[in-house]
């Protein structure tokens, strides 16, 4: 995997929100590579910057937010292009969005227009990126609907988003995202708003489609169960920083960072003994305006070292060969970027 | 790291004691109306013949997917909704039982303090213009504690109880994080020494790292104050963690009730088994989702014939399509509504 050229390569991405009250450092130097056919998982709690990273890649950050530093290199037919330098409203960026990189948003309800039929919206997306006539586009949309397992696809194409159930709506969204054969799919909490049994269907579908279309997926979620089942490689974020990254097995079976360790211990599991107190992480996530100095996790960290953790932000260092953690507990070599 | 401290296991069967709450054949239909004269076209059977009981000091979890009627059931018990029919027998402290379903507003008034609610969303359930003292003290004031000093003392005690500092009393909710706000909500619910606490998805709006704190707090408070919880949730991992018994709902009906460990290890209803199989396990070496549940949850306005689960059930036979299965006790404490409950061997989770 490491010898292949990455499809998307993010280097030291920094995103800030310029608010009246001050500057919020939403993403603070995040780097990662996504390889073809890989499912790259980003896991983190609210305010960790996982969604902002995704929006920065697609250049759809809302106004007070801006990319202040970093590169987002997309490999396109052998040449690389820096998305961070493109005009968010320019033709080039609009050509990439949807065609090269597609998005499955969290809430399919608010992502579809309620006054256009689902079919019309997908046909519009297809015709934006492919030189086909309306009738051919409808045929493509129909095939996509069949692919994602929507029953009675002809009928569903002419329905509105509010006529579909949550699961069907999310399937339609996936059909729309895949309709232009993107090479990278960003799934931002695609199953958070839906029920467990439907969630299992959607996750299975995403896996199947990924294998068929060889798409790379960036899978963003706060649910550790979902990430364990879906991702090949995982990055754990906390308050805009990467705490730990590595292959999924290493993250779940040999977590190195105290935050990852504590998080894995604290989640209730269907395998746990009932009515036993869970180990907890003390405190709560700080407000982004008063981010702690040094390592952002230090006020809640059980292994906090005074004078060290609160002074410097530890860089991401290679630990145990396959993974990397940003913690002063590990004094190995810095991960070569 | 705090050590895992074992709570005394709860006996699920109290042969002698009467349950604190016994719900019998509870129904709540919402009419579908049309036109100027609002003639009724049909009913949404949100809660359709539900029966269960909760003993004092016990936690019963009500699980199910969205739209299965779990919230409607809990709202009926609190009489935020008036049930269409059925009985809800609530044991009062003087050992008599009253039917909550029949009482008028006036008759309910003295019982209200005994039943309290913990809300799902800690952001919208606290008035941003009231201080913590006002929020937690309001139920006390309404119920006759007019002396301000007494109230300050009690609010301070309650805040300490839920792990907040009494000095925070004059602050407004915006100064607190989601987890702290949920603690405030719990303090308010406990202000009047309730005997039944209905918790409707109390941790699903919280961050993962904070959820465990609130769960532990609820377990600790139950141990200290002998609280009775009706815990409404969709997350099976959370339910396994907190409850002594679990009732699984599907389209307005309870399909299975059993003691937590038994329900997870030996589910007897195919829906329970499918629900268990669908939970993504946080371990990449355990691949979940081997049993796939096809199709969608039917609408409670237009449910299928026979057993409501038959169109999605891989074990369905003719009788399932024709007749609704009876909800019966198959082994002690294990109630199932399935024609084939005794013959099926379903996979569970140890």
Split at pLDDT 50, 70, 90, the class of B13 is very low
User: A224, B234: Cβ pair inside 8 Å?
Assistant: no
Q: What is the pLDDT of residue B3?
A: 41
| Interface mutation target, options A164, A237, A275, A289, chain B, most CBs of B under 10 Å | A275
* Dist. CA A127–CA A8, nearest whole Å: 25
| Interface mutation target, options A267, A280, A282, chain B, most CBs of B under 10 Å | A280
Q: Under a CB-based contact definition with an 8 Å cutoff, are residues B29 and B86 in contact?
A: no
Closest by Cβ to A277, choosing from B180, B209, B219: B219
Q: What is the pLDDT of residue A42?
A: 94
For the cut 60, the answer to whether the pLDDT of residue A205 exceeds it is yes
Tokens 């815990």 correspond to B231
- What percentage of chain A exceeds 90 in pLDDT? 34
Strand partners, A283: none
User: B282, A252: Cβ pair inside 8 Å?
Assistant: yes
Tokens 């994602």 correspond to A148
User: B293, A262: Cβ pair inside 8 Å?
Assistant: no
Find the range with the poorest average confidence among A9-13, A85-89, A165-169.
A165-169
Mind telling me how many Å the CA of B149 is from chain A's nearest CA? Answer: 30
Q: How many CB pairs under 8 A join A and B?
A: 179
Q: What is the pLDDT of residue A1?
A: 46
Tokens 């499912």 correspond to A39
Mind telling me how many Å the CA of B104 is from chain A's nearest CA? Answer: 37
Section B202-206 average pLDDT:
87
Closest CA to A159 of A167, A169, A149: A169
Q: Does A49 touch chain B (CB under 8 A)?
A: no
Give the full edge-to-edge strand order of the sheet including A184-188: A101-104, A184-188, A216-221, A39-43, A233-238, A241-247, A323-325, A317-319
- Is ipTM strictly over 0.90? no
Mind telling me how many Å the CA of B226 is from chain A's nearest CA? Answer: 14
Mind telling me how many Å the CA of B192 is from chain A's nearest CA? Answer: 25
Section A139-166 average pLDDT:
87
- Helix ranges (H only) for chain A are 50-58, 91-96, 108-111, 118-129, 134-147, 153-157, 166-178, 196-213, 224-230, 248-253, 258-266
Q: What is the pLDDT of residue B221?
A: 93
Task: Return the beta strands (E) in B105-164 as ranges.
Answer: 115-118
Q: What is the pLDDT of residue A209?
A: 85
The residue that leads in pLDDT, B190 or B287, is B190
What's the token pair of residue B220?
Answer: 């600790």
Q: Whats the size of chain B, residue-wise? A: 350
For the cut 90, the answer to whether the pLDDT of residue B347 exceeds it is no
Q: Under a CB-based contact definition with an 8 Å cutoff, are residues B102 and B335 in contact?
A: no
Q: Does A205 touch chain B (CB under 8 A)?
A: no
Sign of CA dihedral A211, A213, A214, A217: negative
Closest CA to A296 of A255, A241, A245, A257: A241
Q: What is the pLDDT of residues A108-140, one digit of tens each?
A: 778 888 999 999 999 999 998 888 998 999 999
Residue A49, number of CB atoms within 10 A of its CB: 25
For the cut 50, the answer to whether the pLDDT of residue A289 exceeds it is yes
Task: Return the beta strands (E) in chain B as ranges.
Answer: 21-34, 39-54, 59-63, 85-91, 97-99, 115-118, 196-200, 228-233, 245-250, 253-259, 328-331, 334-336
Q: Does A289 touch chain B (CB under 8 A)?
A: no
Q: Under a CB-based contact definition with an 8 Å cutoff, are residues A243 and A297 in contact?
A: yes
Task: Tell me which chain A residue has its CA closest to the CA of residue B207.
Answer: A45
Q: What is the pLDDT of residue B301?
A: 84
**Chain A hits for B178, Cβ within 8 Å:** 284
Q: Say how many Å lie between the first and final Cα of chain A, rounded.
A: 16
Split at pLDDT 50, 70, 90, the class of B291 is low
What's the token pair of residue A110?
Answer: 């608010």
Mind telling me how many Å the CA of A245 is from chain B's nearest CA? Answer: 15
Q: What is the pLDDT of residue A334?
A: 53
Q: What is the pLDDT of residue B29?
A: 92
Q: Does A201 touch chain B (CB under 8 A)?
A: yes
Q: What is the pLDDT of residue B32?
A: 85
Q: Whats the size of chain A, residue-wise? A: 337
Section B207-223 average pLDDT:
90
Q: What is the pLDDT of residue B350?
A: 67
Contacts of A143 (CB under 8 A, 6+ apart): none
**Chain A hits for B294, Cβ within 8 Å:** 201
Contacts of A66 (CB under 8 A, 6+ apart): A15, A16, A17, A18
For the cut 90, the answer to whether the pLDDT of residue B263 exceeds it is yes
User: A269, B237: Cβ pair inside 8 Å?
Assistant: yes
Task: Tell me which chain A residue has its CA closest to the CA of residue B221.
Answer: A277
Closest CA to A155 of A147, A163, A111, A114: A163
For the cut 60, the answer to whether the pLDDT of residue B55 exceeds it is yes
For the cut 70, the answer to whether the pLDDT of residue A154 exceeds it is yes
Closest by Cβ to B296, choosing from A167, A262, A302: A167
Task: Tell me which chain B residue has its CA closest to the CA of residue A223.
Answer: B208
What's the token pair of residue A204?
Answer: 């299975």
Q: Say how many Å lie between the first and final Cα of chain B, rounded.
A: 26
What's the DSSP call for residue A327? Answer: -
List for chain A the helix, strand, coil content (%; round to 5).
35, 25, 40
Mind telling me how many Å the CA of A93 is from chain B's nearest CA? Answer: 34
User: B65, A229: Cβ pair inside 8 Å?
Assistant: no
Mind telling me how many Å the CA of A163 is from chain B's nearest CA? Answer: 13
Strand pairing report for B245-250 and B253-259: antiparallel
Tokens 């029919």 correspond to B85
Q: Does A246 touch chain B (CB under 8 A)?
A: no
Q: What is the DSSP string of A279-316?
A: P---S-PPPGGGPPSSSTTGGG-TT--TTTTTT-PPPP
Mind telling me how many Å the CA of A147 is from chain B's nearest CA? Answer: 15
Residues B81/B86/B91/B92 CA torsion (nearest 10 deg): 50
Q: What is the pLDDT of residues A28-47, one digit of tens each?
A: 989 999 998 899 999 988 88
Q: Under a CB-based contact definition with an 8 Å cutoff, are residues A251 and A222 in contact?
A: no
Instruction: Burial-class residue A241 by CB neighbours within 10 Å (0-12, 13-18, 19+).
Output: buried
**Chain B hits for A226, Cβ within 8 Å:** 280
Q: What is the pLDDT of residue A234?
A: 95
* Dist. CA A322–CA A259, nearest whole Å: 18
* Mean of per-residue pLDDT scores for chain B: 88
What's the token pair of residue A59?
Answer: 């250049």
**Chain A hits for B278, Cβ within 8 Å:** 196-197, 199-200
Q: Say yes or no: domain B21-243 is CATH 3.40.190.10.
A: no
Split at pLDDT 50, 70, 90, the class of B222 is very high
Closest by Cβ to A275, choosing from B9, B207, B287: B9
Contacts of A83 (CB under 8 A, 6+ apart): A57, A59, A72, A73, A74, A93, A96
Q: Under a CB-based contact definition with an 8 Å cutoff, are residues B309 and B270 in contact?
A: yes
Going from N- to C-terminal start, the domains of chain B cover 21-243, 253-336
Q: What is the pLDDT of residues B101-159, one digit of tens each?
A: 888 989 899 899 999 999 988 889 999 999 999 999 999 999 988 899 999 999 999 99
Q: Under a CB-based contact definition with an 8 Å cutoff, are residues A213 and B305 in contact?
A: no
Q: What is the DSSP string of A206-217?
A: HHHHHHHHT-EE
Q: Under a CB-based contact definition with an 8 Å cutoff, are residues B209 and A281 in contact?
A: yes
User: A270, B210: Cβ pair inside 8 Å?
Assistant: no
Residue A329, number of CB atoms within 10 A of its CB: 16
């Amino acid at each position: 995997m490491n010898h292949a050229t990455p499809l998307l390569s993010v280097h030291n991405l920094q995103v800030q929100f310029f608010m009246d009250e001050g500057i919020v450092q939403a993403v603070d130097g995040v780097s990662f590579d996504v390889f073809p056919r890989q499912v790259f998982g980003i896991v983190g709690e609210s305010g960790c910057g996982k969604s902002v990273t995704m929006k920065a890649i697609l250049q759809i950050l809302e106004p007070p937010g801006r990319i202040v530093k970093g590169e987002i290199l997309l490999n396109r037919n052998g040449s690389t292009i820096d998305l961070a330098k493109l005009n968010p409203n320019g033709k080039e960026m609009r050509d990439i969005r949807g065609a090269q990189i597609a998005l499955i948003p969290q809430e399919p309800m608010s992502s579809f227009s309620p006054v256009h039929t689902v079919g019309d919206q997908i046909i519009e997306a297809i015709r934006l990126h492919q030189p086909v006539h309306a009738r051919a586009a409808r045929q493509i949309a129909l095939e996509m609907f069949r692919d994602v397992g929507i029953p009675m696809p002809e009928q569903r194409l002419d329905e509105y988003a509010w006529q579909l159930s949550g699961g069907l709506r999310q399937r339609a969204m996936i059909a729309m995202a895949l309709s232009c054969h993107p090479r990278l799919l960003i799934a931002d909490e695609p199953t958070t708003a839906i029920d467990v049994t439907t969630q299992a269907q959607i996750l299975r579908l995403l896996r199947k489609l990924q294998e068929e279309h060889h798409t790379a997926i960036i899978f963003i979620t706060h649910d550790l169960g979902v990430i364990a089942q879906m991702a090949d490689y995982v990055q754990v974020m906390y308050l805009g920083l990467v705490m730990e990254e590595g292959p999924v097995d290493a993250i779940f079976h040999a977590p190195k960072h105290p935050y990852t360790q504590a998080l894995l211990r604290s989640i209730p599991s269907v395998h746990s003994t009932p009515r036993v107190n869970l180990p907890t992480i003390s405190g709560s996530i700080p407000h982004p305006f008063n981010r702690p100095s040094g390592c952002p996790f230090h006020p809640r960290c059980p292994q906090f070292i005074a004078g060290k953790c609160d002074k410097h932000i530890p860089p991401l260092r290679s630990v145990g060969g396959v993974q990397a953690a940003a913690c002063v507990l590990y004094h190995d070599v810095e991960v070569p970027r | 790291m705090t050590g895992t401290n074992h709570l005394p296991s709860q006996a699920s069967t109290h042969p002698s004691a009467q349950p604190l709450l016994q719900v019998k054949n509870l129904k709540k239909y919402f009419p579908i109306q049309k036109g100027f004269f609002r003639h009724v076209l049909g009913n949404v059977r949100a809660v359709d013949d539900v029966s269960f009981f909760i003993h004092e000091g016990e936690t019963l979890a009500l699980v199910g997917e969205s739209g299965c009627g779990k919230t409607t059931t809990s709202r009926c018990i609190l009489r935020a909704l008036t049930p269409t029919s059925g009985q809800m027998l609530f044991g009062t402290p003087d050992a008599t039982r009253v039917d909550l379903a029949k009482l008028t507003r006036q008759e309910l008034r003295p019982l209200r303090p005994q039943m309290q609610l913990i809300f799902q969303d800690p952001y919208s359930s606290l008035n941003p213009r009231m201080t913590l003292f006002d929020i937690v003290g309001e139920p006390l004031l309404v119920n006759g504690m007019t002396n301000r000093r007494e109230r300050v003392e009690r609010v301070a005690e309650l805040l300490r109880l839920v792990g907040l500092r009494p000095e925070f009393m004059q602050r407004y909710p915006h100064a607190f994080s989601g987890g702290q706000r949920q603690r405030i909500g719990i303090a308010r619910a406990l202000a009047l020494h309730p005997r039944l606490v209905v918790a409707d998805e109390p941790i699903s709006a919280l961050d993962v790292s904070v959820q465990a704190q609130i769960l532990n707090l609820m377990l600790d408070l139950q141990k200290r104050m002998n609280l009775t919880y009706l815990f409404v949730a969709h997350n099976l991992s959370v339910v396994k963690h907190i409850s002594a018994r679990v009732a699984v709902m599907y389209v307005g009906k309870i399909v299975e009730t059993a003691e937590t460990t038994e329900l997870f290890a030996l589910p007897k209803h195919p829906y329970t088994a499918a629900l268990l199989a669908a939970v993504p396990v946080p371990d990449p070496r355990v691949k979940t989702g081997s049993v796939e549940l096809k199709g969608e949850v039917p609408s409670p306005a237009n449910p299928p014939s026979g057993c409501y689960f038959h169109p999605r059930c891989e074990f369905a036979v003719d009788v399932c399509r024709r007749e609704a299965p009876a909800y019966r006790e198959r082994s002690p404490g294990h109630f199932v509504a399935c024609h084939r409950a005794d013959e099926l061997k379903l996979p569970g989770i140890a």
